[in-house]
């Protein structure tokens, strides 16, 4: 083992002046910190981070040995029915039912180091919040909403996961407050992005002033965190209605027939997600399939893997063609 302080010896709990000088002497024969920083600066390293993230949740979790981590050399009773196929990255094979992703592997990264000890619950809240306990930590999108408030008419956090009548337990804002719940664009939520019939912008402004007056009087009587959340919701709703950005982002008619065909009828949410992050929304979550396949594993995977294949391929291809691959992070879990 390389030891800056010379031969290994019993730790004294302190470092002497002689030890410090010995380490400092490395600068005469090697690179100093200033040299390292100077070389890093001259290399022009790009340290920018993605501006938005699309989080794709595979509820229940697909079988890893039947999808992205196949075991072709395992015994027949272990390796399953599907064949592995090569990808465009040497040494990586994936399931035969994902041929499109096999050609995209140079644009993807497979993370095999995530595990959970709670096999019964699949721990969606653990992965998305970092906490093993339900309802203790806010969702990732809620945190972004809290840290990066917006005033441009776009919601900071959109959920396309559609669990009637509420949210999945890994989407809630918990202690951050109701104003950091995700916007769910379905039913009345989507219809209310435009002005109601017969209501002009001037009339809406008058109503807003009246609401502000009533709100000011109410504050003299009662104030709470819940009311503050509702106030923020009202403000955000008015911004979304009076701006065309949100409505345009959800307007799928602006996409060509070719683009719709690329995504297919089962993967429309992937296309919606791309439009939302392209418009500037920081966090979009969506759910694809239901992978809780305790009984019909191969039958269900045979049906759902091609849909996953088409959706991710279309999204990744779209992002690269539009030059957004460095601005948008896509996480599939």
Domain spans of the chain, in order of start? 1-47, 52-187+244-332
pLDDT tens track of the chain, all 333 residues? 334 334 444 444 455 555 544 444 444 445 555 555 555 566 555 556 679 999 999 988 899 999 999 999 999 888 889 999 999 999 999 999 999 999 999 999 999 887 766 655 556 677 777 777 777 888 889 999 999 887 777 889 999 987 665 677 678 888 998 888 888 887 555 545 544 555 455 654 555 555 555 455 454 444 555 545 555 656 665 565 556 777 788 888 899 999 999 999 889 999 999 999 999 999 999 999 889 888 899 999 999 999 999 999 999 999 999 999 999 999 998
Cα 263 from chain centroid (whole Å): 19
Number of other CB atoms surrounding residue 331 within 10 Å:
14
Question: How many of the other CB atoms lie within 10 Å of CB of 262?
Answer: 18
pTM: 0.72
Q: What is the CATH number of domain 52-187+244-332?
A: 3.40.720
């Amino acid at each position: 083992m390389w030891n800056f302080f010379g031969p290994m010896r019993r730790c004294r709990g302190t470092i002497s002046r002689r030890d410090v000088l010995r380490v400092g002497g490395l600068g005469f024969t090697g690179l100093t910190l200033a040299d390292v920083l100077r070389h890093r600066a001259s290399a022009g390293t790009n340290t920018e981070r993605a501006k938005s993230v699309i989080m794709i949740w595979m509820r229940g979790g697909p079988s890893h040995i039947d999808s992205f981590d196949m075991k072709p050399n395992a015994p027949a009773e272990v390796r399953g029915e599907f064949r592995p196929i090569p990808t465009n990255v040497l040494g990586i094979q994936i399931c035969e039912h994902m041929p499109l992703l096999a050609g995209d592997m140079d644009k993807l990264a497979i993370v095999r180091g995530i595990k959970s000890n709670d096999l019964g619950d699949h721990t969606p809240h653990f992965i998305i919040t970092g906490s093993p306990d339900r309802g203790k930590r806010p969702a990732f999108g809620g945190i972004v909403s809290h840290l990066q408030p917006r005033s441009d008419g776009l919601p900071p956090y959109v959920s396309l996961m559609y669990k009637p009548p509420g949210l999945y337990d890994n989407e809630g804002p918990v202690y951050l407050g109701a104003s950091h719940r995700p916007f769910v664009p379905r039913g009345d939520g989507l219809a209310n992005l435009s002005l109601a019939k017969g209501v002009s912008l001037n009339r809406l402004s008058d109503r807003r002033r009246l609401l502000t007056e009533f709100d000011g009087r109410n504050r003299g009587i009662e104030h709470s965190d819940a009311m503050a959340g509702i106030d923020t919701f009202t403000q955000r709703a008015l911004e979304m209605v009076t701006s065309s950005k949100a409505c345009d982002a959800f307007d799928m008619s602006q996409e060509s027939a070719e683009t719709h065909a690329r995504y297919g009828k089962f993967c429309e949410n992937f296309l919606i997600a791309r439009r939302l992050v392209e418009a500037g929304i920081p966090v979009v979550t969506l759910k694809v399939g239901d992978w809780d396949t305790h009984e019909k594993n191969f039958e269900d995977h045979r049906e759902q893997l091609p849909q996953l294949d088409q959706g991710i391929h279309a999204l990744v291809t779209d992002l690269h063609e539009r030059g957004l691959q460095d601005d948008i992070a896509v996480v599939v879990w």
